[in-house]
């Protein structure tokens, strides 16, 4: 039997006010749900200490810095709930409730995963839905446990950014519906621009193509290279873009041209830089 309605998983490498805002908004918008809230600390222990010092109803686990999928899977090994909610650590819920989101999926047994409406930190509408490679969503996703058991957990070879798209595709291939529920809205919290994240995002796109569309992967890689080269040129010409944007585009372009994982991740996972066509690991959910 499931001991909770919902397990919330937040992967964080540091403990700060943004993590606090994320956790406070999740707890405040829970509604009638019985929650299990887990912070997977991939840093030096700062997130764990922050949680222990500031939250009674949130627990923290420590894990290696091997990516969002890896950390999420380690959190799932410690929890039992009928739904799983995966939340980026720089988001807060500003409209709707988690209980209404769960109730929506309770009425739709064909739905395996649901995403929500997303705003940027300035309040403008952000893209939470994507058409390529198939319908998928990011930011905050609610996943049915039975669907996750059917499709397999996160593919740990993706460090970040593509692990949710990969999960959405595998769910759809298993005939689960992936939907968008705009009655719940999340807002991104201000964060600094990090070039290493851009490099990881670019590499993840190449990995995704190699795994799911191997025949098109080479063409897709060169299309990405052109994209980032044009973006670097644009950022260099327009003064409103700062050095962070230029460094990010340059790091992404380098990741695409070399075809290798960014150094911070390749050091831990030397085999990840190659093609990603072997099956994803599928741990067993706790009873």
Written in H, E and C, the secondary structure of 15-62 is CCHHHHHHHHHHHHCCCCCCEEEEEEECCCCHHHHHHHHHCCCEEEEE
283 located within any domain: no
Helices 17-28 and 46-54, packing angle to 10 deg: 50
In whole numbers, what is the pLDDT of the chain averaged over residues?
Answer: 86
Tell whether 47 and 13 lie within a shared domain.
yes
Would the pLDDT of 270 be above 50?
no
Place of tokens 């109730």: 103
Question: Could you report the per-residue pLDDT of 172-223, keeping only the tens digit for each?
Answer: 999 999 999 999 999 988 776 667 888 888 999 899 999 998 999 999 899 9
Quick: pLDDT tens for 66-75: 999 999 999 9
Which pLDDT value is given to residue 128? 61
Could you give the CA distance from residue 165 to residue 205 in angstroms, rounded to a whole number? 10
The angle at the Cα of 228, spanning 261 to 255, to the nearest 5 degrees, equals 10
Contact yes or no for 30/98 (Cβ under 8 A):
yes
pLDDT of residue 276: 35
Task: Say yes or no: 249 and 221 in one domain.
Answer: yes
Pairing status of strand 136-137 against strand 58-62? unpaired
pLDDT at 275: 35
For 181-244, give the DSSP string. Answer: EEEEEEEEPP----HHHHHHHHHHHHHHHHHH-GGGHHHHHHHHHHHHHHHHHHHHH-TTS-HH
The H or E element containing residue 165 is: helix 163-173
Buried residues in 130-141 as b, exposed as e (16+ CB within 10 A): eeebebbbbbbb
Domain-located, residue 237: yes
Predicted pLDDT of residue 230: 94
How many domains is the chain partitioned into structurally?
Answer: 2
**Residues 55 and 121 grouped into a single domain:** yes
Q: Which of 188, 206, 236 is the last residue of a domain?
A: 188
Q: What is the pLDDT of residue 127?
A: 66
pLDDT for the residue numbered 282: 43
Q: Which of 257, 263, 237, 252 has the alpha carbon at shortest distance from 195?
A: 252
Q: Which pLDDT value is given to residue 271?
A: 41
Exposed e or buried b per residue across 59-78, where buried means at least 16 C-beta atoms within 10 angstroms of its C-beta = bbbebebbbbbbbbbbbbee
- Which is it for strands 140-144 and 111-119: parallel, antiparallel or unpaired? antiparallel
The model's pLDDT over 11-60, given as tens digits with 9 standing for 90+, comes to 998 888 899 999 999 999 999 999 999 999 999 999 999 999 999 999 99
Domain limits at 80?
A: 4-188
pLDDT reading at 267 higher than 90? no
The strand pairing partners of 130, in sequence order, are 136
Dist. CA 18–CA 20, nearest whole Å: 5
Has residue 98 been placed in a domain? yes
Domain boundary among 165, 188, 211: 188
Residues 140 and 51 in one domain: yes
Q: Which helix (H) or strand (E) holds 84?
A: strand 81-87
pLDDT reported for residue 138: 74
- pLDDT, one tens digit per residue, over 81-129 is 999 999 988 899 999 999 999 999 999 999 999 999 999 888 787 766 6
């Amino acid at each position: 039997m499931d001991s909770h309605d919902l397990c919330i998983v937040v992967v964080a490498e540091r403990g700060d006010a943004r993590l606090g805002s994320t956790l406070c908004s999740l707890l405040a918008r829970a509604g009638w749900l019985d929650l299990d809230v887990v912070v997977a600390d991939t840093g030096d222990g700062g997130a764990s200490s922050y949680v222990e010092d500031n939250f009674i109803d949130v627990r923290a686990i420590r894990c290696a810095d091997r990516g969002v999928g890896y950390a999420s899977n380690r959190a799932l090994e410690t929890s039992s709930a009928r739904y799983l909610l995966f939340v980026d650590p720089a988001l807060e819920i500003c409209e709707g409730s988690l209980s209404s989101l769960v109730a929506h999926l309770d009425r739709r047994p064909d739905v395996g995963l649901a995403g929500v409406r997303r705003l940027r930190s300035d309040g403008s509408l952000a893209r939470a839905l994507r058409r390529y490679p198939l319908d998928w969503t990011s930011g905050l996703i609610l996943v049915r446990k039975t669907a996750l058991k059917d499709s397999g957990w996160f593919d740990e070879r993706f460090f970040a950014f593509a692990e949710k798209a990969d999960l959405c595709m595998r769910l759809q291939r298993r005939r689960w519906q992936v939907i968008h529920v705009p009655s719940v809205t999340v807002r991104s919290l201000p964060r600094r621009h990090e070039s290493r994240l851009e490099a990881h995002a670019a590499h993840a796109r190449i990995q995704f193509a190699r795994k799911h569309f191997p025949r098109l992967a080479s063409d897709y890689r060169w299309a990405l290279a052109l994209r980032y080269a044009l973006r670097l040129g644009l950022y260099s010409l327009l003064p409103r873009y700062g050095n962070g944007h230029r460094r990010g585009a340059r790091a992404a372009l380098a990741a695409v041209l070399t075809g290798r994982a960014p150094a911070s991740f390749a050091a831990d996972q030397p085999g990840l830089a190659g093609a990603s066509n072997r099956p994803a690991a599928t741990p067993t959910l706790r009873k």
